[in-house]
Amino acid sequence: MDGAWRDAAALELTGDVTLGVQASTYLAYLPDYIIKFLNRKDAAALSALIPVDLAAHASNTWPAPLVDLLPQGYGREELLKQLERPEHAGPAADWELLCAGAGNPIGNARVKEAHEWIMKRSGGITRGFTFDEVAHRAGDFNEYLAQHGLFLAGSSGVQGEWPKILLTQAKDGLLYLDHMLPDEEAAMHYIVKFGKGTSPRLDAILRLEAPYMKLAKHLGLAVHADLHLRERALFIPRFDREVRDDAVLRLAQESAASLCRRAGFGIRVSNNRVCEAIGQVCTDPAREIIEFVKRDIANVALGNTDNHSRNTAFVRRPDGFIGMTPLFDFAPMWLHPDGIARIGRWDDDDHGSPNWASAIKQACLAAEIDAIHVTRAVKQMVVPMRTVFQVARELEIEDEFLVPLQLKVKNVLDQLEALDG
């Protein structure tokens, strides 16, 4: 806050550490912080549901927003190596991972002990890398960094199965590990996602994520910026950072899982429950419900089955605004060789093929808003949906990835045209 890091709250683990995120905890904001930010639930708070107050927050699990900071997937595996823990260490390693890996996460909150752990192991700025250099070494970039004596853990704590790293472009045009570059030198922040394995289908998912984001923009969804693929490295501009003059504004981020008070991974949170949370905390619930429903329509039409509650997030700004972040992790996940099931569903959901008139009514009922305005706004997807394949081909998406989606798009379009509004 205010361009400076502040001690905001203290957290005590009161349960069995071997239970991981399911262990009981005790959380309380610190007195000096309460005096300055009392009753704030925006960027000053740890969660929109944990406003800055005098209360003590005892819980049977970790506070849900804390789970957003816990490295998972590829980042977890890399950090376990640094901690010299078994590669597949279970929940018993969660607390140690938090205290080492949450020192530079997405958003505006960090664990102080984790930041100190990282900085003790990181030297000063040694060298930067060109975009081409990062792309050319995409397959072994972590090892390449180690060869240059660079400590990766502070910039690899991004959740998800794909290898990812946080890189920041400095004013000299080169890319540096995010946690090692002073704010006053920053020009642009990136998440870089690297290809994994040898599966052609995984390569296709990575390659198509950038044009899929342009398709999302065509369909009227909230998109931050274009993604850029270089070889097997996808450069994703971050929307949780804003560079202003010589300062970096960090915007609070919170997953839908956190807003639904769900501490854990692989959990099923219905779309109805997410809409209920939107109605409770967002500045403009109607706008966010429209966006949420439109995103789910796009997910179904274009085969993005990976719609779990950590792939939807909310931003909390210092001016009090709370709303959905721009779209992220939007790709043809139906191609995944392991099969990715659609987890986020409506209560009245026909095996992953929703009745959209019903879904709109369910969303509005959950958020307690008028369905007429939402229906009219959602129906505006009709025109761009009619040309979605044409635009896809202009973006050089091959027919082999479009033909299997024809029936889904036709079903969605027929329903949108039939909406009353």
Domains: count for the chain? 1
- What is the SS3 assignment for 258? helix
103, 116 Cβ separation under 8 angstroms: yes
| Per-residue pLDDT tens digits for 238-292 | 999 999 888 999 999 999 999 999 987 778 899 999 999 999 999 999 999 999 9
Q: In this predicted structure, what is the pLDDT of residue 155? A: 66
If you average pLDDT over residues 298-327, what whole number do you get?
95
Q: Is residue 106 part of a domain?
A: no
317, 310 Cβ separation under 8 angstroms: no
Task: Extract the tokens encoding 19.
Answer: 């239970």
**356-367 helix and 406-418 helix, angle to the nearest 10 degrees:** 60
Q: In this predicted structure, what is the pLDDT of residue 60? A: 95
Q: Is residue 370 part of a domain?
A: yes
Q: In this predicted structure, what is the pLDDT of residue 179? A: 87
The Cα 159–Cα 136 span in angstroms is 24
Q: Is residue 50 part of a domain?
A: no
Reported confidence tier of residue 398, pLDDT bands at 50, 70, 90 = very high
Largest CA distance in the chain: 62
More confident residue, 367 or 138: 367
Reported confidence tier of residue 389, pLDDT bands at 50, 70, 90 = very high
Write the CA distances from 216 to 126, 198, 391, integer angstroms.
Answer: 39, 27, 11
- List CB contacts of 280: < 8 A, sequence separation 6 or more: none
Chain centroid to CA 403 = 29
Write the CA distances from 202 to 33, 66, 198, 295, integer angstroms.
Answer: 46, 30, 8, 22
Q: What is the pTM (predicted TM-score) of this model?
A: 0.93
Q: In this predicted structure, what is the pLDDT of residue 241? A: 96
Query: CB neighbours (10 Å) of residue 41?
Result: 19
Q: In this predicted structure, what is the pLDDT of residue 364? A: 97
CATH number of the structural domain spanning residue 332 = 1.10.1070
Ranking 59-73, 215-229, 349-363 by mean pLDDT, the lowest is: 349-363
Q: In this predicted structure, what is the pLDDT of residue 81? A: 83
The Cα 163–Cα 142 span in angstroms is 10
Q: Is residue 87 part of a domain?
A: no
Q: Is residue 121 part of a domain?
A: no
The Cα 375–Cα 370 span in angstroms is 9
| Per-residue pLDDT tens digits for 189-214 | 999 999 888 899 999 999 999 999 99
Q: Is residue 57 part of a domain?
A: no
| Per-residue pLDDT tens digits for 4-18 | 899 999 999 999 999
Write the CA distances from 387 to 149, 212, 218, 406, integer angstroms.
Answer: 50, 14, 9, 12
136, 231 Cβ separation under 8 angstroms: yes
Say yes or no to pLDDT of 50 above 90: yes
Q: In this predicted structure, what is the pLDDT of residue 352? A: 67
Q: Is residue 345 part of a domain?
A: yes
Q: Is residue 278 part of a domain?
A: yes
If you average pLDDT over residues 311-338, what whole number do you get?
96
198, 232 Cβ separation under 8 angstroms: no
Radius of gyration of the chain (CA): 21
If you ran DSSP here, which 8-state letter would residue 251 be given?
A: P
Q: In this predicted structure, what is the pLDDT of residue 1? A: 59
Containing domain of residue 281, as a range? 252-418
Say yes or no to pLDDT of 351 above 80: no
Reported confidence tier of residue 84, pLDDT bands at 50, 70, 90 = confident
169, 113 Cβ separation under 8 angstroms: no
| Per-residue pLDDT tens digits for 135-184 | 988 777 767 676 655 556 656 667 777 888 899 999 999 999 898 899 99
